Structure 1
C-alpha cells in the first residue's frame, strides 16, 4: 500500500485499505498513506467519487496536516494572523468533507477521529468534542490521544479534566492494552505547560512528584508492562510516551524498561511525543535512551 501511495496508484491504495479490518490499523494507515500520497492524487480521487469514505477521510487528513504545517507547532501567541487564517481555511474545508463522510458512513472510525482534530483546531468546544468522541468505538487509543489534547488547558480544558479522563480510560481498559499510555501523555502535556508558564526546573519538579510517579507506574503496569500485553498497532507510541514521561523525571530505571522494549521490538520509536523536544528530537531521543541505559541500566 505504501508503494502504491508513493506511485500515486489510487486503485492500489484502495485495495490495500480493503484488507484492513482493525480500526487502529486503519487509522495508522490513514496517517502513513496520507503523508506519502501526493495531495493532487487525493483531490482527484475525492472529486471522482464524492461518496468514498476513504478518499474523503484521506483528503481531510491531508488538509489538517497541511494546515498544521502552516500554523506550526508554536504556542498560539507566536502564530501570525496569516498563519491562523491559512490554518483555519484548511480545517474548515476538512470539517465540511468529514461531515459528509460521517453522515454517509456513521461507523467510519477514522473519519470521526479526524473530526476530533478539526474540533480542536476550530475551537468547537469540549461538549462538541465529547459528542464526537462518543461516536467512536470504545477504548480507541488514537481518539483518546486526541481527547487528552482537547481536554488540556491550552485548548480550553483543565488539568483536572485531562487527568481524570486519562485515568478513566486506563481503568476501563483491559489489562495489557495500550490505553494506559494516555496517562503518560497527559502528564507530558502538563509538563509542557509548566515549562511554558514557569520554568524547565519547575517542569521536572512536577514530573518528580510522588503522585505523578505513582500514577505513571500504575498505568504502565496495567498496560504495556502487564503480563497480558501483546504488541498492538499503537504499542510503539505507548512505550514512547512512558519512556519520555519517566525520562523527564530523571527516573531512568523506569524509563529503561520502555526504551528496552522499543529496541528489542525493532529499534523503534514514535514521532509523538518526542517531537515536543524540538527540531532535534531524534537526537534528543537517542541521548535520553543512552542516558537511561547508562544510569538506569538496561533490563
Structure 2
C-alpha cells in the first residue's frame, strides 16, 4: 500500500441497513413480503433494546401496510404480528405528517397522521397485553403518544412501563427526552435534568451517556445563530460532554452494541460543535465514514456533507 493509500479516509456514506447484516436480511424479507422469514428472525432476538432498534428500522420499509393486515388476520393469536403492524403504522403515520413544523402541515395530513396512530395504538396495546414482559410495544406507544399529544402524564407512564421491563432501554429514554424538551412542551431545564439523572442512574459503560449529548444538541438547535455556538462551547457544557463520553463510548465496558454507530455519530457531532477536535477525531476515525442521518440532518439536508465538513475540521 502506498504512503498516501494508508491515509486515505473512507468516503462518508449512509447505509439503509446500518451496516448490519441481520437488519439487511429483515428489511429484505419485509420488501419481498416474506413474513415467515421476518417472523423467524425477529422471534430469534430476545425482546429488548436490540429488537426495538431492529424493528424501528424494519418498520420504515415502504408497503408493509399492504400485506401485514392479512398476516394479523391469519395469525389472530400472534403478538409479534401485531407488534410489527403497530410499529409500521407509527412510522407510516410520521411519514404522512412529514418533518415540517406543525404550521406547515396540512389538515388532511394531520388527519391521516392521527388515524394511523390511533390504529397503531390499538395494535400495540394488544401486543403489550399478550406479552406483558415485552418493552418494544411501549417504545412505539411512546412515539405514537407524542404524535397524538397524549400529555406529559400519560407519556411519563408509558416511559415508566418501558423502563420497568428494560431499565437501560436507550430508545425509550430517547423518546422521553424528546417528550420533555422545549419543542414538545417541556423545558431545557427539565430535559437536562432528565438526561443527567438517567445517565447517573445507569451503569458505567452503559448506553445512557448519549442522552446528555442529545440534550445539548437539542438545546443548541433551539438557539439563534451566534448564541448556539456560544452555548455549546461553554466550559460547563464541554465538561458534561466529556463526562458523558467517559461513562459511555469511552468506557472500557461499553464495547460496541448493535446501535453504536448512531451513538458515535451523536458524540462526534456534539464534540465537533463544541470545538473539541481531538475527542471528535477519535470518534470519526472509529466510524470510518459510516454516517447516520441523525443528528447530522440538523446541520444539512445531506448528512454526508455535514459529516465530511466537520470530520475535516477535526482532522479525523
Provide the TM-score with structure 2 as the length reference: 0.85
Contact 1:177–1:223 under 8 Å retained in 2? yes
Structure 1: any 5+ residue segments left out of the alignment?
A: none
- Counterpart of 2:294 (choices 267, 272, 277) is 272
Using the TM superposition, give the Cα deviation of residue 157 of structure 1 relative to its aligned residue in structure 2, in angstroms.
1.2
- Counterpart of 2:248 (choices 223, 230, 241) is 223
1:170 corresponds to: 199
Using the TM superposition, give the Cα deviation of residue 37 of structure 1 relative to its aligned residue in structure 2, in angstroms.
6.3
Contact 1:67–1:87 under 8 Å retained in 2? yes
Structure 2: any 5+ residue segments left out of the alignment?
A: 1-24
Using the TM superposition, give the Cα deviation of residue 253 of structure 1 relative to its aligned residue in structure 2, in angstroms.
2.3
Partner of 2:290, secondary structure, is coil
- Counterpart of 1:93 (choices 104, 119, 133) is 119
Q: Are residues 51 and 162 of structure 1, via their aligned partners in 2, closer, same or farther at CA, if it must alter by over 3 Å?
A: farther
2:10 corresponds to: none
Partner of 1:178, secondary structure, is coil
- Counterpart of 1:47 (choices 67, 70, 73) is 73
Contact 1:175–1:226 under 8 Å retained in 2? yes
Using the TM superposition, give the Cα deviation of residue 22 of structure 1 relative to its aligned residue in structure 2, in angstroms.
5.4
Tell me, yes or no, if structure 1 residue 70 matches structure 2 residue 96. yes
1:244 corresponds to: 269
CA distance in 2, matches of 1:47, 1:275: 39
- Structure 1 ranges of 4+ moved more than 3 A: none
Deviations 1:29-81 (A, max 9, x none): 21232233632122221232243222222222221212212211112222222
Partner of 1:62, secondary structure, is helix
2:311 corresponds to: 289
Bigger proportion of residues as helix: 1
Deviations 1:80-107 (A, max 9, x none): 2222222112111111211211122222
Deviations 1:171-204 (A, max 9, x none): 112221221001111111111111xxxx222111
- Counterpart of 1:179 (choices 208, 230, 234) is 208
- Counterpart of 2:161 (choices 128, 132, 135) is 135
Report the number of matched residues: 287
1:29 corresponds to: 54
- Counterpart of 1:18 (choices 37, 40, 43) is 43
- Counterpart of 1:206 (choices 231, 241, 248) is 231
Tell me, yes or no, if structure 1 residue 123 matches structure 2 residue 133. no
CA distance in 2, matches of 1:193, 1:240: 20
Deviations 1:229-287 (A, max 9, x none): 21112211111111111222333222112212212xxx423222222234212221222
